[in-house]
Amino acid sequence: MNSADDADPGARMKPFPSQLDTKSEEYKKRHSNFLRLLSELNLREKEIREPSAEAVKKLAKRNKYPAREKIRRILDPGSEPLEIGLFAAWNMYQDIPGGYPSAGTIVQIGRVSGKLAVIVANDPLVKSGAWVEITCKKNLRAQEIAMENHLPIIYMVDSAGVNLERQAEIFPDREHFGRIFRNNAKMAALGIPQIAVVFGFCVAGGAYLPGMSSELAMITEHSSMYLAGPFLVKAAVGQVVDSETLGGASMHNAISGVADYRFDTEDEAFAFIRDQMALLNYSRPSPFERIATEAPAYDPEELLGILPENATRTYDMREIIARFVDGSRFEEFKPEYGKTIVTAFARVGGFAAGIVANQGMPVKRQMPPDHLGRPQPPQMQMGNVIYSDSANKAAHFIMLCNERRIPLFFLHDVTGFMVGKQAESGGIIQDGAQFVNVQANAVVPKFSVIVRNSFGAGNYAMCGKAYDPALIFAWPTAKLAVMDGGIAADTVLLTKKELSPEEKSAFRKRLVAKCDRL
């Protein structure tokens, strides 16, 4: 008779024996520091999410809702959407009053009438929904997620088009505005439903987005859609025409036939979206097996007390893994070899998962005897650095997961590959290239979590943005750069031989501060 363990081999994995002392002063210090970082992040999030009360009142007088409220009203009650790019354009566009919170576009993945969908909503309270470069990148990312996962996409359009003062940033390169419409066409060919509702302005090239969608609805006296607005029409062809006559909901439904539906209120449009999603005969079974989800044996709250406050201090990455995998159980692959990278099989949310994680503490590498058979002392290897042996181990593990169709999770805390005479003569370039090659060609879903540092080629090997991870998550401690600010400053200073010691110190301080801001 088969036991439960035989039914699920993963159940035979033993929980990780945690050494985290949650009563120690060091743990409390680390926990307090992380709480401070989370508080700062939450304040920033609140600032982005909450529009001014005065602006909301102005919308209400016109019987309109803020962008996030529109999304909330089409989502299934009680469902929790995942927002993509909440902090996009943070601290950018400082020359524009108010900046560009969330890049002027809200993107969420959530359930509508029981079906998972990507939802894109222009925020008319951010420069009338006008697009800048980051807005375009965010919209392209939303379409990319829809195409990769074959998810329906809902467009809630209310945009004045391209911000003309910044048009050079958004036109005419490959990943610029035109790519949006190319993706509309590609999604249509893939059979991905695209539902568009124009809630306000839809101007110039932006009018092609709803026009190329599967269905298009407009709202009486709220919606207007045209390639050129009244002022441009007057300047170009001398015609004097009002917005409603030129491209209002009535005209596009009754005369041009561009729109398919017309509603009197936004609430009616929300009901339409939900109805259309309910009608979709559109379900795709998951290609990945799933068993019952099990909570970690250790409290995930303890994650806050693992990372040291000082980036030069050490920690055990396995303590982090143990607090998010099912049952805190995982099976390390090659645990005695290439120990600056942890590779392990586990389950996450009931799904089988392969974990590739940078170890956050120094390790010892066992060395072979010399030519006379005499034992050699172990080699000390720095944590957060990829050596030849760890690169080879990671490449082997990724191939295994790819072969077995096991999704991959990459936990980043890497300063790069090892350098120096010994590393170069040992073939670190070839070993690193093999790691990157195997990871880039993996066809299973890949998810990246930036725990602390993600520097240089280490970012590439660990499935950075350029390597098509399905999603990237970043902790408040995350930093992405070519290299650490201090090392960058020291490297540049080698070329500043004319500076005095005092000038070098001041220069280094300025450069490190600049790197930290970026």
Q: What is the pLDDT of residues 30-55, one digit of tens each?
A: 999 999 999 999 999 999 999 999 99
Residues in the chain, how many?
Answer: 518
- Reported as a single tens digit per residue, the pLDDT across 289-298 is 999 999 999 9
119 and 263 in a common domain: yes
Each residue's pLDDT tens digit, 332-381: 999 999 999 999 999 999 999 999 999 999 999 999 999 989 999 999 99
Which residue blocks in 289-410 are alpha helix, DSSP H? 317-321, 388-403
CATH, residue 269 = 3.90.226.10
- pLDDT tens digit string along 244-300? 999 999 999 999 999 999 999 999 999 999 999 999 997 777 889 999 999 999 999
pLDDT in the model for residue 66: 97
Is 11 inside any structural domain? no
Specify whether 458 is located in the same domain as 346: yes
The per-residue pLDDT for range 208-257, each reduced to its tens digit, is 899 999 999 999 999 999 999 899 899 999 999 999 999 999 999 999 99
Select from 279, 151, 280, 131 the least CA-distant residue to 205: 131
Provide the pLDDT for residue 487: 84
User: Number of helices (H) and strands (E), helices first, in the chain?
Assistant: 18, 19
| Residue 492 falls inside a structural domain | no
Q: Residue 77: is its pLDDT beyond 60?
A: yes
The answer to the question of residue 19 being in a domain is: no
Choose the final residue of a domain: 279, 311, 333: 279
pTM over 0.85: yes
Residue carrying the six token digits 């697009």 = 131
**Structural domain boundaries, residue 271:** 50-279
Task: Please tell me whether residues 164 and 274 are part of one structural domain.
Answer: yes
Together in a domain, 379 and 231? no
| Domain match, 355 and 233 both | no
Residue 26 has φ and ψ, to the nearest 5°, of -65, -45
Bridge-based pairing of strands 479-481 and 153-159 is unpaired
pLDDT level of residue 515 (50, 70, 90 thresholds): confident
pLDDT in tens, 289-329: 999 999 999 999 999 999 999 888 999 999 999 999 999 99
Residues 248 and 355 in one domain: no
Residue 426 within a domain: yes
Residue 488 lies inside a defined structural domain of this protein: no
Same domain, 306 and 259: no
Cα separation, 353 vs 38, in Å, equals 27
CA distance 338 to 425: 18
- The whole-number average pLDDT for the span 417-422 is 95
Q: CA 88 to CA 99: how far, in whole Å?
A: 11
- What is the pairing mode between strands 215-219 and 194-203? parallel
Q: The dihedral of CA 147, 151, 152, 155: what is its sign?
A: negative
**Under 8 Å CB-to-CB from 257, ≥6 apart: which residues?**
none
Q: Would you place residue 1 in the very low, low, confident or very high pLDDT band (cuts 50, 70, 90)? A: very low
Strand positions, DSSP E, 276-350: 330-332, 341-348
Task: Tell me, yes or no, whether 35 lies in a domain.
Answer: no
Q: Side chain identity at 159, as an amino acid letter? A: S
Q: Tell me if 46 sits within 8 A of 86, measured CB to CB.
A: no
Short-list 212, 187, 195, CA closest to 115: 195
Q: How far apart, in whole angstroms, are the C-alpha atoms of residue 375 and residue 459?
A: 36
Q: Do 395 and 475 sit in the same domain of this protein?
A: yes
What proportion of the chain, given as a percentage, has pLDDT over 90?
A: 83
How is 128-140 classified by DSSP, letter by letter?
GG-B-HHHHHHHH
Question: In whole numbers, what is the pLDDT of the chain averaged over residues?
Answer: 94
In a domain, 188, yes or no: yes
Both 261 and 320 in a single domain? Answer: no
Is 406 in the same domain as 340?
yes
Q: How far apart are the first and last CA of the chain?
A: 60
- What total of structural domains would you count in the chain? 2
**Six-digit token string for 163:** 């911000």
- What pLDDT, on a 0 to 100 scale, did the predictor assign at position 511? 84
On whether residue 9 sits in a domain, the answer given is no
**317 and 450 together in one domain:** yes
Read off the pLDDT of residues 163-180 as tens digits, 9 standing for 90 and up. 888 999 998 999 998 999
Instruction: Give CA–CA dist 76/64, Å, rounded.
Output: 20
- Prior bond of 378 cis (ω within 30°): no
Q: Residue written as tokens 């390639």?
A: 227
The answer to whether residues 114 and 157 touch, using CB atoms and an 8 Å cutoff, is no
CA angle 214, 75, 66 (to 5 degrees): 90
299 burial via Cβ count (<10 Å: 0-12, 13-18, 19+): exposed
Q: Are residues 347 and 223 in the same domain?
A: no
> Token digits for 127?
């420069």
